[in-house]
Structure 1
Amino acid sequence: MKVIKLENEEQVGLEASQIVIKKIKEKNNIVLGLATGFTPIPLYNNLINFYNQGEVDFALVKTFNLDEYKGLEPTHSQSYRYFMNDKLFNHINIDLNNTHVPSGINVENPSEYDSLISKNGGVDLQILGLGINGHIGFNEPYTDFESLTSEVKLTESTIKANSRLFTNIDEVPKKAISMGLKSIMNAKEIILLATGKNKSKAIKHLVQGEISVEWPCTILQQHSNVIVIVDEEAASQLGNK
């Protein structure tokens, strides 16, 4: 696991975007795993800027998002499909038919998402955020390390954290469809982004803690190709190691 410490979230987003662009130039039909939330927005902003400057071509890129709220239509303003279209896809030359987000409506066979990923050759580069409780995707504490894409129940801390995007906390869905921990670990490379002091405890567990289902992110210690990019606040509990 490689840890890159940078000053602020803007630098984290820039560093991540440069890695992503390098990978796209190496393989123009790359399969990217994408995340939502506040943390990857600077990454997506940079990708849009570099695209507008002619630095990167998304025409053959395929994407698979980690998760989606159960019960939200793709057109709902708080759905993760809407988020991805708004924050990235609508601003670059990606084929929307090559972009995939788990369905929050048709949830009978969520594991079919893993099959679809496999049919496309697997995820080459997975982008991850990090929950304050150590969740990746919506894999909350005590999720089975062997889990595949499934319906999951969100913890109160996750619901509270995500309520910033809703009018009130009662509107936040209580369940989601999420790629499992095994699904995530199947990616060939992983970049995890974390910014802000509220992520510092989870980062300490991720980088220096024991592997435990209590902190789902610690499973990444078992992956052979992980880069963790953090700002100073998120790295504040790591010391100088």
Structure 2
Amino acid sequence: MEIIVSKNYDELSKKAASFVIDLIKEKPDSVLGLATGGTPEGMYAELVKAYEAGKISFKDVRTYNLDEYIGLDGNHEQSYRHFMNKQLFDHVDIDKNNTYVPNGKAEDLEAECENYEKILKDLSYADIQILGIGTNGHIGFNEPAEELILPTHVEPLVEATIEANSRYFDSKDEVPKEAISMGIGSILKAKHIILLASGPSKNEIMKYFNNDKISTNIPASLIKLHPNVTIIMDEEAAK
């Protein structure tokens, strides 16, 4: 596991983007596992800049996202499909037919989870999987628990996650209470995992990466089992 401490958020974003840019240059048809939330926004902005400068093309790139809120369709401003379009897909030459996000409005959620897992398998999983981390240690929407689910599944959101995500909604009551999420097993099948952490709110949880322990009560700790992990955090998260 490699740990990179960047001076600030801008440096973190540029460093994260450099891994993706180098991959696309080397493998134009690469598969990217993508994350939402505030932390990767700067990385996406850097990728758009690289595209606009003619450094990379996304025309053969395939992507899939970690999760989606149940009950929100792709046009909802707080859906993760909308987030990805706004942050990246609308600004580069990617074929949106090659971008996959779970369908939060699926009538049969179990079938949607099974279908999404098949998509991941057909893509042979990600060359790079980008992860953020919740203050409670969740990755994707895999919340702390005695047992974790390996494949894509429906995940009830815990109070801490609902509270943290309420800043994106008009009120806490509007935050969906469930999501479709890739499981820990699916995440660990990526060839390279890059976890991003920024800001003082991540300070406590990032201390857990200074030891040799894992726990399902800190789902992110399970990435310690992966042979190729890069953690990029800014100084505020690393204090």
Alpha-carbon separation, structure 1, partners of 2:76 and 2:193: 29
1:171, distance to aligned residue in structure 2 (A):
0.3
1:98 matched to 2:98? The reply is yes
For residue 120 of structure 2, what is the aligned residue in structure 1? 117
Of residues 127, 136, 140 in structure 1, which corresponds to 2:139?
136
Residue correspondence of structure 1 range 31-70 to structure 2 within 5 A: 31-70=31-70
1:213 matched to 2:211? The reply is no
Alpha-carbon separation, structure 2, partners of 1:173 and 1:159: 8
Query: Structure 1 stretches (4+) deviating beyond 4 angstroms?
Result: none
Q: Deviations over 1:19-59 (max 9, x none)?
A: 10001111110000000000000000000011100011100
Alpha-carbon separation, structure 2, partners of 1:62 and 1:14: 21
Alpha-carbon separation, structure 2, partners of 1:216 and 1:121: 23
For residue 161 of structure 1, what is the aligned residue in structure 2? 164
1:209, distance to aligned residue in structure 2 (A):
5.3
The secondary structure found in structure 1 opposite 2:103 is: coil
Tell me if structure 2 keeps the 8 A contact 1:206–1:217: no
With structure 1 as the length reference, what TM-score do the two structures score? 0.96
1:208, distance to aligned residue in structure 2 (A):
2.3
Coordinate RMSD, CA, aligned: 1.0
Tell me if structure 2 keeps the 8 A contact 1:207–1:218: no
Alpha-carbon separation, structure 1, partners of 2:179 and 2:86: 20
Q: Deviations over 1:125-169 (max 9, x none)?
A: 100000000000000001634521000000111001000000000
Alpha-carbon separation, structure 1, partners of 2:147 and 2:225: 15
1:235 matched to 2:238? The reply is yes
Equivalenced residue count is: 236
Gaps of 5+ in 1: 237-241
**Aligned AA for 2:22?**
K
**Aligned AA for 1:33?**
G
For residue 175 of structure 1, what is the aligned residue in structure 2? 178
Distance 1:66 1:207, change over 3 A: farther
Alpha-carbon separation, structure 2, partners of 1:72 and 1:155: 18
With structure 2 as the length reference, what TM-score do the two structures score? 0.96
